């Protein structure tokens, strides 16, 4: 299968008052054609920073190392002008909050048209016609009329569809979707996921899905990378990760998800969810030991003195843990 994007030992740090804050460290992954790869983890683990680094949208205080290759082009080696040509054309992004990402003083059609005129060279009339077609493609009814509205006149779900229409306007090879269903109700969330799934199936677009919602991951992703404190702690095909999670942090995340079916089967009126004590640390500089050690129920001296390597446990499943295993978090409690 053709590899669309490959990151090799990607690291990102930011200047801070107490030193450089390590947001992402030595993250390596690849995305194949028509594949949905999910980056999962708590807020602050480096998911969004990873996506922004791919598109060259980090602030001036950021320092990056490693490489990100699109096809045979190293994106980090390109000057800003060439990155701008790729951004929106070959790689596009669906930002987390459409209300702050869309221009409030331009109509929806106008905003999509600008993307088409910039990257596709369409005329004003041609771009408008194509913009309406894209709005229809993502499921917006009366697209011609709704396209003349401003973002504030649309619901959250409609605005998210507009962001998707803008992202696919130039038929990109890869879409970076940063929390595309955040703050949407369940019905609208399902509709947005159906839209993304349909675009993947019809257009062959690859998707890097950034989310903390494991339900979304189970619904649409093919593979999952679990991140913690900027590092990759586990990677697996989605079904394998849910069936046999190996890292204590992954076990903790899955244990914090409500399971109504289990309550029905067990006849329990109430089931307490697991919790992971503590919080994600702010890291100053590269890690020298396991980043999850302070919150792990199975921590040993080895975990505090050395970094566990990302090791294969078979069938495309890798984990960075000296004592991996299913339900180790529950066992340690």
Output the 3-class SS for the chain.
CCEEEEEEEEEEEEEECCEEEEEEEEEEEEEECCCEEEEECCCCCCHHHHHHHHCCCCCCCEEEEEEEEECCEEHHHCCHHHHHHHECCCEEEECCCHHHHCCCCCCHHHHHHHHHHHHHCCCHHHHHHHHHHHHHHCCCCCHHHHCCCCHHHCCHHHHHHHHHHHHCCCCCCEEEEECCCCCCCHHHHHHHHHHHHHHHHHHCCEEEEEECCHHHHHHHCCEEEEEECCEEEEEEEHHHHHHCCCCHHHHHHHHCCCCHHHHHHHCCCCCCCCCCCCCCCCCECCCCCCCCHHHCCCCCHHHHHCCCCCEEEECCEEECCCCCCCCHHHHHC
In CATH, what class is 3-98+171-332? alpha beta
Residue 18 CB neighbours (<10 A) = 7
Least confident of 136-140, 146-150, 196-200, 260-264: 260-264
Closest alpha carbon to 146 in 133, 156, 135:
135
- Whole-number pLDDT of residue 260: 60
Q: For residue 63, give both structure tokens.
A: 């320092």
Q: For residue 289, give both structure tokens.
A: 């030991």
Q: What are the residue boundaries of the structural domains of the chain, listed by start?
A: 3-98+171-332
- Whole-number pLDDT of residue 332: 44
Residue 118 CB neighbours (<10 A) = 16
Interval 64-100: pLDDT, tens: 999 999 999 999 999 999 999 999 899 999 988 778 8
Split at pLDDT 50, 70, 90, the class of 117 is very high
Residue 331 CB neighbours (<10 A) = 12
Alpha-carbon distance values, 179 to 39, 52, 147, 189, 209 (Å): 10, 13, 24, 11, 7
CA distance 12 to 21: 9
Residue, of 21 and 329, whose pLDDT is higher: 21
Split at pLDDT 50, 70, 90, the class of 293 is very high
CA distance 149 to 145: 7
Q: Does the pLDDT of residue 327 top 70, yes or no? A: no
Dihedral angle over CA of 26, 234, 282, 330, nearest 10:
-160
Average pLDDT of 16-35?
Answer: 93
Q: For residue 187, give both structure tokens.
A: 């019905």
Q: For residue 112, give both structure tokens.
A: 């999509």
């Amino acid at each position: 299968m053709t590899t669309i994007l490959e990151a090799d030992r990607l690291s990102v740090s930011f200047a801070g008052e107490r030193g450089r804050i390590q947001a992402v460290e030595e993250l390596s992954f690849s995305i194949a054609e028509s594949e949905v790869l999910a980056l999962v983890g708590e807020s602050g683990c480096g998911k969004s920073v990873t996506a922004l680094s791919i598109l060259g949208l980090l602030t001036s205080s950021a320092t990056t190392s490693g490489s990100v290759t699109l096809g045979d082009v190293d994106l980090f080696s390109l000057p800003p002008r060439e990155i701008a040509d790729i951004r929106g054309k070959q790689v596009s992004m669906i930002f987390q909050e459409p209300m702050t990402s869309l221009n409030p003083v331009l109509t929806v059609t106008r905003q999509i048209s600008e993307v088409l005129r910039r990257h596709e060279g369409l005329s004003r009339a041609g771009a408008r016609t194509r913009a309406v077609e894209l709005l229809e493609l993502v499921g917006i009814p009366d697209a011609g009329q709704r396209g003349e509205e401003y973002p504030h006149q649309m619901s959250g779900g409609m605005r998210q569809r507009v962001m998707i229409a803008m992202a696919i306007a130039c038929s990109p090879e890869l879409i970076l979707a940063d929390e595309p269903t955040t703050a949407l109700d369940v019905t609208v969330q399902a509709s947005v996921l159906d839209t993304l799934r349909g675009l993947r199936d019809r257009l062959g677009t690859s998707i890097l899905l950034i989310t903390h919602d494991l339900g979304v991951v189970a619904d649409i992703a093919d593979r999952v990378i679990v991140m913690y404190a900027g590092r990759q702690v586990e990677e697996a095909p989605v079904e394998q990760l849910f069936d046999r999670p190996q890292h204590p942090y992954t076990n903790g995340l899955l244990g914090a998800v409500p399971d109504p079916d289990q309550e029905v089967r067990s006849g329990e009126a109430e089931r307490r969810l697991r919790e992971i004590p503590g919080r994600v640390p702010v890291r100053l500089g590269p890690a020298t030991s396991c980043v999850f050690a302070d919150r792990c129920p199975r921590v040993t001296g080895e975990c505090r003195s050395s970094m566990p390597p990302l090791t294969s446990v078979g069938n495309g499943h890798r984990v960075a843990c000296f004592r991996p295993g299913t339900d180790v978090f529950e066992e340690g409690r």
